Amino acid sequence: KMRANHALLHAMALDKNYIDVIDDSIAQVAVDYYSRKGISKNKARAYYYLGIAYYYQKDYDKAILEFTKAEKVAELCDSLYWAMTKSIQAKVYSSTYNDIETLSCLKSALNIYLSISDYKKAQSVRLRIANQYLNQLDYQKADSLLTYILNSENVDNNIKSQAIKSYAYLKIIQPERESQKAIVLYEEYMDSEGVMSIQD
């Protein structure tokens, strides 16, 4: 039990410090132990971090399998990790160009975050949904979500900055282009110390 708990904490610490771990053996120790136990937060998290390792390995089939296991457990006992699992599932589906499942997972994650009053993560997911609509050229839905984010109170500065950038891009690619508006938005984005890409 101590080895499993240590392995789980190790995997969590690496992920929270933005270290992409492709070594699945760390989380596997936790999975080997907790998979034999009943429903628990640790069991959901063990599956989640094993899925994370497979995701960074780009082994998306194994990643989805572990995330599905994590989802089933987390749904019963850990709403935060349930939302996090739906969010990372969306990234897997996006990597395999499955737009329908990507949107479905993001919308589920948004609803869960809202249900537990985690508004910062909810806004972050809302921005991802807007960008997904933007990628699918659904300008009206993208515009609606981006406008909502930009008009919301107490929005995280980074999320607001990224929303400004996405909104500027929308103004360029929509059928009725608003180039001057896009320039103003890009300038606002740069004033917030945003980094411009070559595409921008």
What mean pLDDT is predicted for residues 55-69?
96
The whole-chain average pLDDT of the chain stands at 93
CA pair distance 71, 112, nearest whole angstrom: 12
Q: What is the mean pLDDT of residues 69-74?
A: 97
Residue 27 and residue 43 in contact, taking contact as beta carbons nearer than 8 Å = no
Q: In which residue are the tokens 């937060």 written?
A: 41
- Is the model's pLDDT at 10 over the cut of 80? yes
22 CB neighbour count, 10 Å cutoff: 12
Q: Check whether 146 has a pLDDT greater than 90.
A: yes
Please compute the mean of the pLDDT values over residues 50-54 and round it to a whole number: 95
pTM of the prediction?
Answer: 0.90
Residue 21 has pLDDT above 80, yes or no: no
Above 90 in pLDDT, residue 200?
no
Confidence label for 18 from pLDDT (cuts 50, 70 and 90): confident
Q: What is the pLDDT of residue 169?
A: 94
Phi-psi region of 21 (alpha: psi -120 to 50; beta: other; left: phi over 0): beta
- Name the more confident of 87 and 196: 87
CA-based nearest residue to 186, from 157, 165, 171, 161: 165
pLDDT tens digit sequence for 116-126: 999 999 999 99
Q: What is the pLDDT of residue 63?
A: 96
